[in-house]
Amino acid sequence: MAVASAILMVTRRNIVHGAVFLINTLLSTAGIFLLLQAEFLFVVQIILYVGGIMVLFVFVIMLVNLDVSMRQVQFNRQWFVAGALALVLAAQFLFAIHATQAGRDPLRLPAMAAEISPKNTEAVADALFSHYMLPFEIASILLLVAMIGAVVMAKRRVG
Amino acid sequence: MPFVLPVLYAVVIVAVLPLMAGYIVLMERKVMADMQARLGPMRVGPHGLLQPIADAVKLLLKEDIIPNEADRLMFWFAPLVSVTMALLAYSALAIGPAFQIADLNIGLLFILAISSLGIYGIVLGGWASNSHYSLLGALRSAAQLVSYETAAGLGLISVLLLAGSLSMKDIVQAQSDQGVWFGFSVPFGFFIYLVGSIAETNRAPFDLPEAESELVAGYMTEYSGFRWSLYFLAEYANMIIVAGIATTLFLGGWLRPGARYHEHIPGTGVEWLDALPALLTLGVALYSLKLAPKQPVKIQKIVMVMVAVLCFGVACVLAGALFAPPAVMQGIHGAFWFMAKVFAYIYAFLWIRFTFPRYRFDQLMRLGWRFLIPLALVNVIGVGVAIVLRQQFAWGPIVSLIPTTLATLGVAMLLAKDDAPIVDAQTADGE
């Protein structure tokens, strides 16, 4: 369903329909997280991605007048190269999936912990605050810098 | 068959909820009338009791108008999203110790996520109506919801720290274990969640997006008949869900007030506070009987007597449950206390609606971002400090929260003083 929504999102002419199918794609991804027993990621994906970022997307879509762009030609002339690149990427994905299932380790991902805590929330919290503390703090500072930058850029001069 | 009970609960909730929402509308109109020194709906049925049914029939029979240039698919889809999300949130709510559709171990976050999905019903509805007022109302409403959702979520985190779990059942259990409702241990968390939840459900004084005198009816302008009733149902279902969350987190859920007070009625094994539900309903029954002869019209007399009999029946059930096995008694009394607290919270909503004037949109956003969110952050820090005091220095559960609550109060007063000049050199944002 995630794939179907993604295809529909890209092919809709009406951009609001496209946004709704993007929402559907993100919800399906969240569902995949749930199927993999990562319930915290499921919920956080919905709250942040669908409930926050997509709302902003939809805001911008609705505030911008899109009649002009909707009447233009939708597919450009570079589709051959794009198609070839997409096929190469698909071949890489298929190879990686096949090789991982066959037991070889083409991606060399770090080994998972020997015992996985039954509750995803605690496991994520444990990992964030012990192994991944430095990236967590750096990401927080990055977000803070972005927020301050946005506020400064949007501030109007008084008087 | 593990699916029978959850499906049964789900069917009960989906069947009862529209009726309950309709009667909350009637309650609102009666309370509004009472506060404005008039009577409210009195014509349809005795004392207006059949008014919701008349409204429902009218809405079902109305002509279904779709604006000419409207996006038909979205127009059909938007109220559906609102109602589905509002009803879906009930699946994680725990009404009694055993009355819960699904005890998710991320129950609280799940309800928050579903509430944030409900925003799309409003935004898509405003867009699909193809009208300026609807779109503006929808976007304003969505901005307000997103801002206050942040504040309310931060207010909930303070409870989360004290309870240690996201599961609704565990949170009530933690309140039972600690012997104090979290509304009393973290009053600021309760206050922040109260204000945030009023804004979340678009209720006054935060109802600018749907106020009659402002944008006609905002995103609901072009909807009529059944589609409008879906939006309406979604709004009141949202109100009940938000009251349910507040009850579970701050008011002890299904716990009896005074859980540690075990005085027995002399002579029996029944505690005073356990007998309270039955006594209260009996009191209502006797009051109805007292009022019955004074009714002007015969049908009203009959209805008063019927209400008295109904309350008496409920009192009998509640009293009978005292002598049933503890699981049954906990279930029935738990449901009673939960509903009582939910109705008290909703009464507070109604009370606030008819007391305060409406906030202008820029005042609303200023309140959310510049007062509530900093206050919520300070509150979270305060609760964290209190937990450290409790664990490292072994202070008691309530004592440890007093200094941090006082500190948060100080910060709140500072923030409020800072915000005093509402109309200042910067002009209000032109919409």
User: Is domain A1-71 classified as CATH 3.40.50.920?
Assistant: no
Residue position matching structure tokens 């505690």:
B271
CB B180 within 8 A of CB B398: yes
pLDDT score at A144: 93
CB B30 within 8 A of CB B41: yes
pLDDT score at B346: 92
CA B85 from centre of chain:
15
Residue of higher predicted confidence among B194 and B134: B194
Chain B residue with CA closest to A62: the answer is B127
Selected for mutation to probe chain B from A12, A16, A124 (highest B CB count within 10 Å) is A16
Residue A58: burial class (beta carbons within 10 Å; 0-12, 13-18, 19+): buried
Selected for mutation to probe chain A from B426, B429, B431 (highest A CB count within 10 Å) is B426
Selected for mutation to probe chain B from A28, A45, A62 (highest B CB count within 10 Å) is A62
- What is the residue-averaged pLDDT of chain A? 79
Separation in Å, CA of B365 to nearest CA in chain A:
15
Test B104 with A39 for CB contact under 8 angstroms. yes
pLDDT score at A114: 43
The whole-angstrom separation of Cα B310 and Cα B281 is 9
Separation in Å, CA of B167 to nearest CA in chain A:
11
Query: HSE-up of B398 (CA within 13 Å, CB side)?
Result: 9
Q: Could you tell me where the DSSP H helices lie in A12-53?
A: 15-35, 39-44
**DSSP for B213-258?**
TTSTTGGGTT--THHHHHHHHHHHHHHHHHHHHHHHHHS-TTPPSS
Q: Which of A16, A121, A156 sits opposite B106 (nearest CB)?
A: A121
Residue of higher predicted confidence among B121 and B214: B121
The whole-angstrom separation of Cα A97 and Cα A103 is 10
Q: Which of B114, B124, B425 sits opposite A159 (nearest CB)?
A: B425
**A56-63: average pLDDT:** 84
> Tens digits of per-residue pLDDT, B212-233?
555 565 676 777 778 888 888 8
Backbone angle region of B71, left / alpha / beta, with phi > 0 → left and psi within -120 to 50 → alpha: beta
Amino acid at B20: M
Q: Which of A43, A156, A158 sits opposite B110 (nearest CB)?
A: A43
3-state secondary structure of A143: helix
Amino acid at B268: T
3-state secondary structure of B111: helix
The whole-angstrom separation of Cα B302 and Cα A54 is 55
Question: What ranges do the domains of chain A cover?
Answer: 1-71, 120-159
pLDDT score at B323: 75
CB B110 within 8 A of CB B88: no
All residues of chain B having their beta carbon less than 8 Å from the beta carbon of residue A43 are 106, 109-110, 112-113
| Chain A residues with a Cβ under 8 Å from any Cβ in chain B | 14, 16-17, 20, 23, 39-40, 42-44, 46-47, 50-52, 55, 58-59, 62-63, 119, 121, 156, 158-159
CB B63 within 8 A of CB B75: no
A110 upstream amide cis, omega within 30 of 0: no
Q: Closest Cα partner for B236 from B38, B37, B52, B66?
A: B52
Q: Which of A14, A42, A55 sits opposite B142 (nearest CB)?
A: A55
CA A158 from centre of chain:
38
Test A39 with B124 for CB contact under 8 angstroms. no
Separation in Å, CA of A139 to nearest CA in chain B:
19
All residues of chain A having their beta carbon less than 8 Å from the beta carbon of residue B91 are none
Residue B130: burial class (beta carbons within 10 Å; 0-12, 13-18, 19+): middle
Test A14 with B71 for CB contact under 8 angstroms. yes
Residue of higher predicted confidence among B70 and B365: B365
pLDDT score at A141: 94
- What is the residue-averaged pLDDT of chain B? 81
Q: Is the ipTM of this complex over 0.90?
A: no
